[in-house]
């Protein structure tokens, strides 16, 4: 019987290494890293965060997709949504012949055209249990690039569900990763979940745990963020904490502590272990990148440039952290900077729309901080720096 599920690679790393380097490598980024993360060009000084760009999970997912393209040359290759939230990487996969499936208005993917002779790549975020089942029923070959950190979260929420605990998930309920995570809970009849976006939503939950009262406000706020049949009076007695791996680490920890305090208030310190669980599902790479920008903005920067897809959760959180200390420009990639016109198109923190600013770099010496989300390849960082330098009529050193 032909193997239909692959997760551990095809042993083609050497064969795809050169192509990956051509597509994503940057000599200027290497040079900056070797120079203690600093670059001076004329009166422009750049500080690069010490942790930035592709994390291990993203690097593995992209590499595995490239290997799949070579392994199954001649077959139709499909990808469920985006491999990661980076427009350049996804467009490159399209150019390699991978068809990216897009969900319909109902949020569901149409797999009706998938046959047992096709290959389907599962993205780094994973897919829901329902999607996995439908793909398996099609008989196609599955190449699973789900990040190990995501799988770790799944193990935790599955354990909560088996033990009759409600999973309180810090995340965006519409995000692919969170949807995949909560679907793991739904496999168990004893499992429930509620997804909280931020500390304000958490406070609503905690106030109810502490004082109960009328659940109608919660029912309205969390209508599409809870498991089917969720009962706020019944299902918040036993709570386990989990999170979307790309959320703001400090906020996830604050949410965890607040829920624990609420349950202590309701059931007493002596009973907390019976009612509360947490196993630390914050992604190490996400936390490292957030810590690195917090260190970077301690310097007297004139501005921060954050590079990454506008729909990238971890990139948006990096921009949010930077904006508390320095003027911050979140750009999708280097094409957002027009060096001839000294113009930048960027997405302000908290905004849904990008804006265009003329003369954004200004005159005189500048100390510019640079970082990038975990789905941003190094070449897009290097191209960004090159375009900023060109505004001053300068060029990068050879």
Catalytic residue list: 177
Neighbouring C-beta atoms of residue 214, cutoff 10 Å:
9
CA distance linking residue 145 with residue 62, whole number of Å: 8
Distance separating the N- and C-terminal Cα atoms of the chain = 54
Dihedral (C-alpha) 57, 63, 64, 70: value to the nearest 10 degrees?
Answer: 170
**Residue 129 neighbours by CB under 8 Å, 6+ apart:** 180, 183, 184, 186, 187
Cα angle for residues 323, 221, 224 (degrees, 5° grid)? 100
Beta-carbon neighbour count of residue 355 at 10 Å?
10
Which residue stretches of the chain are H helix? 13-24, 27-34, 56-71, 87-95, 129-138, 148-162, 176-185, 199-211, 216-221, 249-267, 272-275, 284-296, 313-323, 378-391
For residue 226, give the DSSP letter. B
What are the residues whose beta carbons fall under 8 Å from the beta carbon of 107, sequence distance 6 or more? none
Measured torsion, CA atoms of residues 104, 134, 151, 100, in degrees rounded to the nearest 10: -40
Cα-atom radius of gyration of the chain, to the nearest Å? 23
């Amino acid at each position: 019987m032909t193997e239909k599920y692959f997760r551990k690679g095809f042993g083609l790393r050497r064969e795809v290494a050169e192509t990956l380097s051509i597509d994503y490598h940057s000599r200027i980024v290497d040079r900056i890293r070797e120079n203690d993360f600093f670059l001076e060009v004329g009166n422009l000084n750049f500080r690069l965060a010490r942790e930035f760009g592709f994390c291990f999970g993203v690097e593995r997912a992209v590499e595995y997709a490239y290997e799949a393209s070579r392994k199954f040359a001649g077959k139709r290759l499909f990808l469920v949504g985006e491999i990661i939230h980076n427009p350049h990487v996804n467009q490159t996969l399209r150019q390699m012949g991978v068809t990216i499936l897009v969900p319909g208005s109902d949020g569901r993917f149409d797999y009706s055209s998938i046959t047992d002779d096709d290959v389907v790549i599962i993205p780094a975020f994973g897919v829901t249990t329902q999607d996995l089942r439908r793909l398996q029923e099609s008989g196609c070959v599955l190449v699973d690039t789900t990040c190990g950190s995501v799988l770790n979260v799944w193990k935790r929420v599955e354990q909560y569900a088996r033990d009759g605990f409600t999973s309180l998930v810090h995340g965006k309920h519409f995000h692919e990763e969170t949807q995949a995570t909560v679907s793991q809970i739904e496999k168990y009849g004893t499992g429930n979940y509620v997804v909280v976006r931020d500390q304000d939503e958490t406070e609503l939950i905690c106030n109810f745990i502490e004082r109960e009262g009328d659940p109608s406000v919660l029912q309205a706020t969390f209508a599409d963020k809870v498991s089917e049949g969720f009962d706020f009076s019944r299902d918040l007695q036993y709570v386990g904490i989990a999170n979307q791996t790309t959320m703001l680490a400090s906020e996830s920890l604050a949410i965890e502590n607040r829920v624990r305090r609420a349950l202590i208030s309701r059931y007493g310190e002596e009973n907390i272990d019976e009612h509360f669980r947490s196993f630390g599902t914050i992604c190490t790479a996400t936390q490292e990148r957030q810590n690195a920008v917090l260190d970077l903005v301690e310097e007297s920067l004139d501005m921060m440039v954050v590079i990454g897809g506008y729909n990238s959760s971890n990139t948006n959180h990096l921009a949010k952290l930077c904006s508390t200390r320095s003027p911050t420009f979140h750009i999708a990639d280097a094409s957002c900077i027009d060096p001839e016109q000294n113009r930048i198109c960027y997405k302000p923190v908290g905004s849904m729309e990008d804006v265009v600013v003329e003369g954004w770099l200004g005159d005189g010496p500048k100390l510019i901080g640079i970082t990038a989300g975990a789905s941003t390849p190094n070449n897009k960082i290097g191209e960004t720096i090159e375009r900023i330098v060109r505004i001053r009529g300068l060029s990068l050193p050879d």
